[in-house]
Structure 1
Amino acid sequence: MPLIALAIACLTLITLCYGGLCAASPFGTCRRCNGFGFATTTDRKGRPKRGKSCRRCKATGKRIRAGRWLYNRAQRIYREGTH
C-alpha cells in the first residue's frame, strides 16, 4: 500500500512540475532543427552551411509544448461552448 501511495505522489509531482513548465515557458526548441530554424548541411569542402528552412517550426526554431497545446485546446473548446 505505501508503494502505491509513493507512486501516486511521484506522478502528481511530475505532472505539477510539467504544468508549471508549460505555464512559464510554453514554447520549446524544435526537435527537428535543434532550434536553428533550418537544416544544416555541408558543402563540398565539408564546411557547414545553411540548408532549407525547417517546415515543422516554420523556420522559427520554436515549437509549442504538448501540455500547452492541450491547455489551449481545452480553453478554446470551453470558450466556444459558453457562447
Structure 2
Amino acid sequence: MPLIALAIACLLAITLCYAGVCAGSPFGTCRKCNGFGFATTTDRKGRPKRGKRCRRCKGRGKRVRIGRWIYNRASRIYRAGTH
C-alpha cells in the first residue's frame, strides 16, 4: 500500500508542476523547426541557409503547450455553456 500512495503522490506532484509551467509559460518552442520558424537547409557548399517557413507554427517558432490547449478548450466550453 505505501508504494501505491508514493506513486500517486509523485504523479500528483508532476501534474501540479506541469500545470504551473503551462500557467507561467503557455508557449513552448516548436518541435518541428526548433523555434527558428523556418526549416534550415544547406547550399551546395555546405553552408546553412534559410529554408521554407514552418507549417506547424506558421513561422512564429512557438506553439501552445498541450496542457494550456486543454485548459483553453475547457474554459471556452464552460463559457459557452453558461451564457
Structure 2 length normalisation: TM-score? 1.00
Aligned residue for 1:34, secondary structure, equals coil
Specify the code of the residue in structure 2 equivalent to 1:32. K
Structure 1 unmatched runs, 5+: none
Structure 2 unmatched runs, 5+: none
C-alpha separation between the residues in 1 aligned to 2:45 and 2:8?
Answer: 55
C-alpha separation between the residues in 1 aligned to 2:44 and 2:4?
Answer: 58
Identity over aligned pairs, percent: 83
Specify the code of the residue in structure 1 equivalent to 2:73. R
Alignment root-mean-square deviation, CA: 0.2
Aligned residues: 83
Aligned residue for 1:11, secondary structure, equals helix
Aligned residue for 1:60, secondary structure, equals coil
Structure 1 length normalisation: TM-score? 1.00
> Post-superposition shift, 1:37?
0.1
